[in-house]
Structure 1
C-alpha cells in the first residue's frame, strides 16, 4: 500500500464574489507532476440576476484544463470556434497546446435564475513534445461520460480518462493519464491498483474519507509517496473524491500567468505571440 507523504489544505482565495479554494500549488507543494494547479469554486448559491462566473476571454499555452461541473453550469467559448454549455455532472477537457483564447462564464439561464454552483478546474501539464500541439476542446454532459458502480453500488465512478477494469474513460488524451470522479456513500471502500512509478492526484471535494488510517476532510489534497502499487480508502461520510494518476514528465516547468512552458524564454515568446494575435481572434 502507498503511504501518505503530506496532506495539503486548500487555501481560501476568493475571485470577485466566487468562493474559491486552491490546494495546488501551495507553499509546500509546487506540483504533483504532471498535475500542476487546482481551483475549487463553491459550493455556493447564486441569487437570480447574478453575474455568474468571472472568467472572461484569456489565453493559455502549454497545458490542459480539466473542468468538473458538480453544480451549476459553464459556458465555454474559444478562439478555435468551440462553444458549449456543460451542465451539472459534465466534464470539459481543453488542450491549450500552441495557444488559444477562451472564456468560461455562466449561461444566460444561470445568470437569470441563479442556483447552486460548485466547479473545479485542474491544470495538467503537457510534455515538451506536445507543448505546441494543435489546441482542442471537448465538453461532455453527464450522460455522455462512462459511469459504473463498485463495492455493491456504494461507489459511483465517473471514468473520465484511462481505464478501470473493463471500463474505458470517455476522453482520449495525448499522454497516458487516469482521471475520475468518485461519489462514495458512507462506509464505501475503494481499492485501486496504481503503479508505484505513477504520481497520484487525490483531492477530497466533499465529505470525509479515511486513507491509510488517517481521516481527511473535504478541501484537502493528499500527496502520496511512490512506495507501493495500491491505495485503499473508506468514506466516513458521503464523499466526493477526484482521483487521477499518471507518470511524471520529469521536465523543467516554468509557469507564469496562463502559460506553462519548459523555459523562461518560452514564456516570453508566449506573451509575444499572444500580443501579435497568434492565438487566434476573439469574435464573440
Structure 2
C-alpha cells in the first residue's frame, strides 16, 4: 500500500474468517524517514462491523463523520463501531509525517450480529495509560485488557457482542494459562516472537486456529513475544461483504452503497 508494508493474517487462502473475527491487517514494522506521507487511509465508508486498531509504534490521527477525532499514540488503541455507517480517515499526525520514526499498527475487524448492524456509530480512542494491565508469572507476562474481562480486571471498552480482547506481552520464559469456554471461538495472532500454544509452536506473523474441543489455553514464550488474544461466541449468521461493507445479504450490500452515495453515512468536510 504505497510505501506501507502490510501482512494480511485474515482472511487467507485457507481461512475465510473465524466467526465473528473477520479481518486482520498488520502494518509494519518499518521505519519512516522524516518528511514522509504517513498512512494512506484517507476518507472511506464502513457499515455493519467494528474495527479495533492497535498502535504499537507511531501514531494514528482519526476522524469520522460521527464526530470522533483524535490522535492515538504508541501503546494505545481505537475501537470504532461502524454500525449503520460512517466515513472515516486514519492518517499519520503532522508530527509523525515531519519527524518520521518506527511504525507498527494492526487493525482487526469484528462482525456485528444482524440485530446490531444498523446501530448508531461510535468511536472510542484510548491512550496507553487508559488501558488496564495485569501482570502474571512474576512480571514475565503483561496482559493489556481492552474489552471483556481478564481474571478480575474489566476492560474499558464495552462490547455489544461480548467480544473479549487483550494484547499480551511476554518475556522469554513467560507463561500463562487461561480458561475459555469451548463454545467460544478464539482469535490468537503472534505479532512478535515465538510461542508454545498448548504444545504447538507458533511464530510471528502467524494466526493460530483452534478446534472447539477444550477450555484450557496454555502459552509459553520461547523468546520475547507479543500476541493478540480474543474470544467470542460465534454468530452463525451469513456473512456477505463487499469492500468496506459487511452485511447478511447481497441486497443489504447494494443498499449500503446507495445510502453512502446519497450521503446517509455523512458528508466528508
Count of residues paired in the alignment: 269
Cα deviation for residue 244 of structure 1 reads 0.2
Counterpart in the other structure of 1:188: 174
Cα deviation for residue 148 of structure 1 reads 1.6
* Aligned with residue 55 of structure 1, among 23, 34, 41: 41
* Unmatched tracts of structure 1, length 5 or more: 1-14
Residue 160 in structure 1 maps to residue 108 in structure 2? no
> 1:76-225 residue pairs with structure 2 within 5 A?
76-225=62-211
Secondary structure, in 3 states, of the residue corresponding to 1:274? Answer: helix
Q: Distance in 2 between matches of 1:47 and 1:59?
A: 30
Return the TM-score normalized by structure 1.
0.94
Counterpart in the other structure of 2:213: 227
Counterpart in the other structure of 1:45: 31
> 1:248-263 residue pairs with structure 2 within 5 A?
248-263=234-249
Q: Distance in 2 between matches of 1:220 and 1:248?
A: 21
> Which digits, 9 at most, give the CA deviation of each residue in 1:163-214, with x for residues without a partner?
1111000101111111000000000112110000000000000011011222
Q: Distance in 1 between matches of 2:234 and 2:11?
A: 16
* Unmatched tracts of structure 2, length 5 or more: none
Counterpart in the other structure of 2:251: 265
Q: Distance in 2 between matches of 1:276 and 1:99?
A: 12
Secondary structure, in 3 states, of the residue corresponding to 1:224? Answer: coil
* Alpha-carbon RMSD: 0.6
Return the TM-score normalized by structure 2.
0.99
Asked which structure has the greater RCO (Cα within 8 Å, sep 6+), the reply is 1
Secondary structure, in 3 states, of the residue corresponding to 1:268? Answer: helix
Secondary structure, in 3 states, of the residue corresponding to 1:110? Answer: helix
> Which digits, 9 at most, give the CA deviation of each residue in 1:137-184, with x for residues without a partner?
000000011112011111011000001111000101111111000000
> Which digits, 9 at most, give the CA deviation of each residue in 1:12-62, with x for residues without a partner?
xxx111000001011111110000000000000000000000000000000
